[in-house]
Structure 1
Amino acid sequence: MSTKSSETDKSTPQSQPSEQVSIVQAFASVTPYEKGSKRHKEITDAITNHICKDMVPAYIVSKDGFRRLIQTLDKRYQLPSRTHFTRVAIPEMYEKCKAGVEYELKKVKFYATTTDMWSSRTMEPYMSLTVHYIDDNYEIKSRCLQTAYFPENHTGENIAQGLKEALASWGLCEDQQVSITTDNGSNIVKAVTLNNWTRLQCFGHRLHLAIENAIKDERISRANGLCKKIVGHFSHSWKKKMMLAEAQEELQLPQHALITSCPTRWGSMQQMIDRVLEQQKALSQVLSADRKTRHLVPQWQDTDVLESVSKALGPLQEFTDALSSENYISVSYVKPVLHLLNTKILAVKDEDTDLTKTIKSKILNYINKHYEDETTQELLDIATFLDPRFKTNYTDEDKLPNIKARVMSDMDMSSHKDTYEPGSSTSRENPDIDLPPPGKKARKSLGSFFKTTSAMPAALQLEEAIASELNSYLLSPSIDSEEDPLKWWRLHQINFPRMSRVAQKYLCIPATSSPSERVFSTGGNVVTCHRSCLKPEMVDMLVFLAKNL
């Protein structure tokens, strides 16, 4: 056996000789790509996408570390200059992305919008506009159309004209706009009124104003001011932070940092109060140890006030976060949420303190008062009616006939629009329909002898079909509140062809103006202290690409 194996080893070569590289291959491996080649364009596009999507400064292409990275990945690629990216690559990508968005919008039958005003780090004013719609596959889509430089005075008239021009520049018809969601700024409200558009007030902004109104109390102001001083004291002293961490470990409290309150976000105030209450023992231990900070130790009166505020506002935080999303339906949630606030979340309980009861009552009275508008109520009722999770559950009985009539009217308009729309199956202009040649009489089929003509006019037939479709929808079982209504409509559009189109029309409306605020957050990441000299046109391009790529 040993002899045989040794012979085998001898016959087996220890190493295979490497294949010799030809001179042509050797030169090709180091020859730079031609600038017009496919590979060069692919890498350049990928770098441009990285700059725009990840909001990276264009000067990164001139940094040694980035250039070394590219050289390591592909030695044949020669990185273009920064000027090439800012003047050629980014504008080309913008035009290409813009063309894709325009193509999408041409197929949109109905849409909703959100808008807001913003000033950059360099105090340059901008106006954002986002569009929201439901496509033929029943998926909700959002597109940022512009972050336009707006140097004019922010009057209602100027904003109204600016919004009209923005829609026209994208080829969007105003008649197809179902609603526009904005905050409650007087100039924005006036602009929408001048344009004669339907407006939905931002739920998050309205709730913020309701809470601001409810906490106008000297006791709350004192306790809230004390929290801010405590947070500020620990934020500016690394020694106090270390002492707080030691106290947390000693008292077996969570190793959580304190939270700073933001004046324009009531939720941050609520989080700050909750964190101070959570860390109260550790904070008192650290502050009491220093004679200069003993006045910051919360007294029992302050603790009672903070607990009362936390108990009243705590449950509201989740509703604001849920209604601010643009990835799922939110407008049909507003009526159910208002009902829940009145009957459960903000309902006064026996165990509530007097301050908690006062806060709850003030918030409810403010919100109910500002949602009494008939136009707003009708819009919310229709959206809730078209949501298969809720239907008529949150609509008043006396308003139900009017809502049904409005939905049936929209169904009728949708039917007529499809009938006379060029290219539709019932249109005379459809080239796919085979018409008999002129001069020849069409031969009758056997089935035509058994065909009977209906005595009912076509208008009455359509009216009956619409009423039947509406009743069938109401009789169908409601789906679970956790399910996606758009998936339900996608599956049942065959059974409810007219109502499904009406659902596409109304369910695209966002309940808050958060999409426009997110655009400004993106703008803040673009116009940084290192890029404060960006031209407004470049800011618009970069924000557009960051949101739409």
Structure 2
Amino acid sequence: MTPASRTKEFFTLIENEELSKVKEENNLVYYSYKGVMFPYIKCISCSSFIGDQRGGNKTRHMKKVCMKGSDNVLPDFTEDITKLCLDTGCSFNFLTSDDFKSFVTGIVKKCRSYVDPDKITFPSAHIIKNKITEEYGNVINDIGAKIRPKILNGEANLVIDFGKYFHDYLSAFIVTIDDENATPKLRIFPFAFKSTTATKTSENKFGLSEKEILSMTLVSDGAKNLEKAANLYFGGCEHFSNERLKCSCHLIQKISERVMDPLKSLRTSFDSNELLLLKECSDCLDKAAHLAHVVHNRKNSLALPRLPHLYVATRWQSAVRCGRDIIQLIPSLVTAADSKVNSLALKLYHEDLATLTTVVSILEKFEPLLLLFEKSSSTIHLFLPKMNALLKHFENLELTSTNESITQVLAKSARIHLTHYLDKSISSIHAAATFLYPKTKRMMKLDKNYRDMAMDTIKTMLNELEPISPTTVSGDDLDYLDDYADPQPVDEIDQYLQDFVSPTELDDPILYWAKNSSRYPNMSRVARKVFSIISSESVCERSFSIVKKIVTSDRSSLKPQTVEKLMIIFFYRHELL
């Protein structure tokens, strides 16, 4: 049998799943065929196939043929092509096409001019899919081994969101603190990217029970999505045993959106003139969005330094960015050669520019917080103090602005809607996180009810733990006498409050509590539970941007189960922090 025909036979048997791997030994892979040892073995180094019989051919290959790169020793592209599929979203059809094979063959021939193209064997779509399934199984096992102990210890949390891309999908991630590399850090693991038309029960692919999944704190963008997920997979919201947090970014977007479009239940807080002013502000921002859209449509006839942001209906802050860009570009737009752009820009410049400038100056106050909380990092301790500071800003602006001015009315609306949404959204977890961050532990600028909420939450969580005694280290030689004294109970909360906090103290609360775990063995365990919660489900939203890269339009016919495999593998290989 020639090396080329041997290669093709080998791949045919592998594709038909007729060969079973028996062992790896001395850089060689041995197989069985229908329960009998297969007469050929595979060299791991060069992927060639050699006869498994006596006569020294294995030794000759390892010492001479393999090292010299003989023309019958060809690379196996299966692993590389599978990786390309997983990392780029190339379709199975493309990776098995003649064009792709010709491209790879050309590269191989340039590197090894003696290669016979007919001897190169490419993996079929079936083999690539099998390799992906194998990789998916490995990834699931790795993730399960890492998240199961965390979930059982109450140190993992679930983040979910829904989105549509050819199908309706639930995107879900597990967030926990990873200690693998000595320095603890927040780690996000993919949990599901599941079609809503698939099974209606929670999956057990990670070896978790439904009760264990439901024990986690859940972060979602609102009650509707939470209810949808609960009904699809868990039989209703009432089964979630832990606290549920609203996504901070979604909340900020909603508040800023309502500044110019008050909730019906809050419209009675405004008189008719104030409502008219808010409507005028909303119309002004709409005009800026329309102008930006026209500019994009006619960009080829315009000589602009850059294009303005476009307003996206589902991303309210995009309207603010759009308005800010129009203000900055207005000198170029009013002199534009395009008559329609020129006309719209001149009208906005003379009639609405002052109002637009005021609107943007008010609404852009939300933007830094949006950028802060959309990070997939530990920021939950900042939510309460940052939002409280923003509320105080608008309260002060309302008091110091000219009566019935646009600035005063916008500040009033921002103050009313901030108060309304925060009263409904601030949770005991937010309060506890603020207390557990050393620089805000006294919560001096916050209402007393938040301090009480934090203390009650911390004490409840401490009572649920099996207590551990703190260890102390001292340089005083007389401390050995303490061994003979009655042990004094240590109140970790009091000690924590009394400790001086240096201005240079660690900003990362996860690192702070890891560093001080011996002094506060019980509170540090509570802190791990709290700081394993992220503020928003932005990681889920990013997953719907990534799916467009992995599942391109020519792969739209992929089964939802295959899409989930591709997405879970991609997210695990490319951490989304």
Q: Distance in 2 between matches of 1:365 and 1:175?
A: 37
Cα distance change of structure 1 residues 30 and 116 upon mapping to structure 2, 3 Å threshold: same
Secondary structure, counterpart of 2:336 in structure 1: helix
Q: Distance in 2 between matches of 1:396 and 1:291?
A: 53
Say whether residues 1:510 and 2:561 are aligned partners. Answer: no
1:335-354 to 2 correspondences below 5 Å: 335-344=384-393, 347-348=396-397, 350=400, 354=405
CA contact (8 A) 1:32 1:78 kept: no
Q: Distance in 2 between matches of 1:74 and 1:497?
A: 62
CA contact (8 A) 1:183 1:205 kept: yes
Cα distance change of structure 1 residues 79 and 346 upon mapping to structure 2, 3 Å threshold: farther
CA contact (8 A) 2:177 2:532 kept: yes
Cα distance change of structure 1 residues 126 and 79 upon mapping to structure 2, 3 Å threshold: farther
TM (norm. structure 1) is 0.74
Q: Distance in 2 between matches of 1:483 and 1:357?
A: 36
Counterpart for residue 6 of structure 1: none
Letter in 1 for 2:423: E
Counterpart for residue 414 of structure 2: 363
Counterpart for residue 386 of structure 1: 436
Say whether residues 1:223 and 2:293 are aligned partners. Answer: no
Q: Distance in 2 between matches of 1:524 and 1:336?
A: 37
1:139, distance to aligned residue in structure 2 (A): 1.2
Counterpart for residue 408 of structure 1: 459
CA contact (8 A) 1:312 1:346 kept: no
TM (norm. structure 2) is 0.71
1:189, distance to aligned residue in structure 2 (A): 4.4
Percent identity over the alignment is: 17
Say whether residues 1:490 and 2:540 are aligned partners. Answer: no
Cα distance change of structure 1 residues 482 and 360 upon mapping to structure 2, 3 Å threshold: farther
1:79, distance to aligned residue in structure 2 (A): 5.7
Say whether residues 1:477 and 2:500 are aligned partners. Answer: yes
Counterpart for residue 36 of structure 2: none
Letter in 1 for 2:336: V
CA contact (8 A) 2:434 2:441 kept: yes
Q: Distance in 1 between matches of 2:69 and 2:319?
A: 63
Say whether residues 1:274 and 2:324 are aligned partners. Answer: yes
Say whether residues 1:91 and 2:133 are aligned partners. Answer: yes
Q: Distance in 2 between matches of 1:290 and 1:537?
A: 52
1:140-219 to 2 correspondences below 5 Å: 140-151=186-197, 162=201, 164-165=202-203, 170-171=208-209, 173-174=211-212, 177-189=215-227, 191=230, 193-196=237-240, 197-216=242-261, 217-219=278-280
Counterpart for residue 131 of structure 1: 174
Say whether residues 1:547 and 2:571 are aligned partners. Answer: yes
CA contact (8 A) 1:178 1:505 kept: no
The superposition leaves residues 247-280 of structure 1 with CA deviations (integer Å, 9 ceiling, x where unpaired) of: xxxxxxxx22222111111221111111110011
1:367, distance to aligned residue in structure 2 (A): 2.5
Secondary structure, counterpart of 1:134 in structure 2: strand
Cα distance change of structure 1 residues 55 and 239 upon mapping to structure 2, 3 Å threshold: closer
1:378, distance to aligned residue in structure 2 (A): 1.8
The superposition leaves residues 385-418 of structure 1 with CA deviations (integer Å, 9 ceiling, x where unpaired) of: 11223212255335535533432332243225x8
Secondary structure, counterpart of 2:218 in structure 1: strand
1:338, distance to aligned residue in structure 2 (A): 1.1
1:27, distance to aligned residue in structure 2 (A): 7.2
Q: Distance in 2 between matches of 1:260 and 1:292?
A: 15
1:306, distance to aligned residue in structure 2 (A): 0.8
Equivalent of 2:354 in 269, 280, 304: 304
CA contact (8 A) 1:323 1:512 kept: yes
Letter in 2 for 1:515: V
CA contact (8 A) 1:167 1:174 kept: no
Letter in 1 for 2:418: I
CA contact (8 A) 2:171 2:193 kept: yes
The superposition leaves residues 341-388 of structure 1 with CA deviations (integer Å, 9 ceiling, x where unpaired) of: 022367416457822332232223222212224x84322111111122
Secondary structure, counterpart of 2:250 in structure 1: helix
Q: Distance in 1 between matches of 2:189 and 2:110?
A: 37
Q: Distance in 2 between matches of 1:354 and 1:365?
A: 17
Cα distance change of structure 1 residues 78 and 343 upon mapping to structure 2, 3 Å threshold: farther
Q: Distance in 2 between matches of 1:354 and 1:272?
A: 23
Q: Distance in 2 between matches of 1:172 and 1:67?
A: 50
Counterpart for residue 15 of structure 2: none
CA contact (8 A) 2:295 2:307 kept: no
Cα distance change of structure 1 residues 90 and 332 upon mapping to structure 2, 3 Å threshold: same
Q: Which runs of 5+ in 1 are unaligned?
A: 1-21, 34-38, 153-157, 246-254, 420-449
Q: Distance in 2 between matches of 1:266 and 1:50?
A: 37
The superposition leaves residues 302-324 of structure 1 with CA deviations (integer Å, 9 ceiling, x where unpaired) of: 10121011110123212101111
Secondary structure, counterpart of 2:217 in structure 1: strand
Q: Which runs of 5+ in 2 are unaligned?
A: 1-62, 231-235, 262-277, 470-481
Counterpart for residue 397 of structure 1: 448
Q: Distance in 1 between matches of 2:506 and 2:410?
A: 30
Q: Distance in 1 between matches of 2:395 and 2:107?
A: 57
1:406-485 to 2 correspondences below 5 Å: 406-415=457-466, 464-465=489-490, 467=491, 469-478=492-501, 480=503, 483-485=507-509
CA contact (8 A) 2:144 2:207 kept: no
Q: Distance in 1 between matches of 2:340 and 2:546?
A: 45
The structure whose RCO (Cα within 8 Å, separation 6+) is larger is 1
Cα distance change of structure 1 residues 536 and 72 upon mapping to structure 2, 3 Å threshold: farther
1:26, distance to aligned residue in structure 2 (A): 9.2
Cα distance change of structure 1 residues 112 and 345 upon mapping to structure 2, 3 Å threshold: farther
Say which is worse superposed, 349-358 or 265-274, in terms of deviation. 349-358
Q: CA RMSD in A?
A: 3.4
Letter in 2 for 1:518: R
Equivalent of 2:91 in 57, 67, 73: 57
Counterpart for residue 9 of structure 1: none
1:129, distance to aligned residue in structure 2 (A): 1.2
Cα distance change of structure 1 residues 319 and 24 upon mapping to structure 2, 3 Å threshold: closer
Cα distance change of structure 1 residues 98 and 23 upon mapping to structure 2, 3 Å threshold: closer
1:239, distance to aligned residue in structure 2 (A): 4.2
Letter in 1 for 2:253: H
CA contact (8 A) 2:220 2:226 kept: yes
CA contact (8 A) 2:248 2:535 kept: yes
Query: How many residues get paired?
Result: 457
Counterpart for residue 252 of structure 1: none
1:132, distance to aligned residue in structure 2 (A): 0.6
